[in-house]
Amino acid sequence: MLVQYFAIFVVAVLLVFALIDYKKAVLFWLTAKLLFNNQIAVKYTSPGIALVIAGDALLFLVYLWKRKKVENLCDTPFLLNPILGLYLFSFSISVFLSDIPISSQVVPFVKYFLSGFCMLFLAHKVLNDKEDVVFFMRVCAAVSVLIILLAISENILGTNVWLDFVYFNSPHDFSEKRMFYLPGVMNMRYGLIRAYSFFSFQVPFGIACVCLFWLVNMYYRKNMEINAETPNKTDSFYFVVCLMLAMGVLMSNTKQAYIGFVIVLFSIYPLRTFFNLKSLFLFAVIVCLVIVYAEEYLNNFYSLFDSDLAEEGGGSTVEGRHTQFEAAKLLFLRNPIFGNGIGSIAYYQSKGLFLDILGAEGSYLKILPERGLIGVVAYLSLYIYMYKKMRTHVGTKELFFYLMATFLMEFSGGEKDMSIWILPLIVISKYNSLFHETENSDYDKRKNINDFFVN
């Protein structure tokens, strides 16, 4: 139970931090919580309360209590208000019109909105000036370094010392699958390790690296533009962090992260960069080196169409995904408009039904059966809304390819915590708006950052 005591201690420290300096506590927690997976909990008996959920709930409750006393909060309406209303309608109607008990849906309902919309709301409130963004990015960089260093040590030692500690000092309910890591059983795929770092599974690790890579890279490039005449060492540090996060994508050894990373590169760099002779030559050299020295690496993609290779690497095939889809379709057809309820897949699987859906590794495999067509409309509306709302201050090309990357990663790997991929957009859009030049060529930082979110 040592991990539980540790979790309670972290919550206590976070509470003290929030009471002393609420804004910095939120800014710290927004990325620091990536260091704690769901196996680290303040309560393990049903319903379990993970440390991350406890921290999110604590900060939101403190905000409700102290919101009039905290200075320098953003006073504009929440960016996602229209989408929040649509999601609440989609989730609520699915809950009340489903056949499964409402009591089975309360916990996943609360967790989804607390870790998603509530934390993004707090991010919107506390990111109000340049100092806020700078502090957030420093924490983000430090957390990124810790994540990658642990993954590197995992590759060198052949074990994850942090997850070993978590595993041996916490109770386990394997039916809940809070963490897939097992000490002494390093997950390998075609001769290459699949690192967990601080995460419960490799896919969230890879996706987090992709989103953080985009965030840090966009921040670094903006700083290079601002400090073109007076470059500083801090900017160089962020470049190193970008390289480390790219290493993290490789160490996660997941197809979803690879696909997202390649598309994100199109978001960050000009398209002409990828199609000149130097880039094409470099790409050809890399392909040749992989074929000659690391041919097994290509099995990640061959395995999609070869069941024997997929079984060897612990991955899925197109045929396997088709089987999942057929099972999900049967559940979807029970209530195609409103869905079968939040958490209905896990509920029915606990009864021995629809087992072929497995972990619903694909956003469509989860949204269609649980929230129906209304849920699909809400999900797609979120992406469309984010594109229309943020392209002014993020950049049309940058935003388009980033949203494409996150959409495809979720489509192939399952719906993720929206704060992981939307938070970088909020940070970059606010930071860019701080340096939006007015007609008089002066920087009215506070006005710009707030006006953007009410237009």
Domain that holds residue 74: 2-451
Higher pLDDT, 103 or 263: 263
| pLDDT band, very low/low/confident/very high, at 79 (cuts 50, 70, 90) | confident
Which of 44, 54, 48 shows the shortest CA–CA distance to 18?
A: 54
The predicted pLDDT at position 450 comes to 45
Per-residue pLDDT at 342: 86
Whole-number Å distance between alpha carbons of 398 and 210:
14
422-428 average pLDDT score:
94
**Contacts of residue 325, Cβ cutoff 8 Å, sequence gap at least 6:** 362, 364, 365
* Amino acid 350: pLDDT: 74
Name the pairing type of β-strands 188-189 and 49-50. unpaired
Is residue 141 a contact partner of residue 237, using CB atoms and an 8 Å limit? yes
Residue type, 320: G
User: What SS3 string covers 139-160?
Assistant: HHHHHHHHHHHHHHHHHHHCCC
State pLDDT tens for residues 109-133.
Answer: 899 999 999 999 999 999 988 899 9
pLDDT value of residue 368: 86
DSSP β-bridge partners for residue 189: 192
Give the bridge partners for 192, in sequence order: 189
Distance separating alpha carbons of residues 234 and 245, to the nearest angstrom: 17
How many helices (H) and strands (E) would you count in the chain? Answer: 20, 4
* pLDDT of the residue at 230: 67
- 393 compared with 172, residue with greater pLDDT: 393
Claim: this prediction has a pTM higher than 0.75: yes
Q: Is the pLDDT of residue 178 over 70?
A: yes
Q: What's the pLDDT tens digit per position in 273-309? A: 777 777 777 777 777 766 665 566 666 655 555 555 5
Rounded Cα distance between 235 and 165, Å, is 35
The 10s digit of each residue's pLDDT in 303-324 is 555 555 555 445 555 566 667 7
Split into its structural domains, the chain has a count of 1
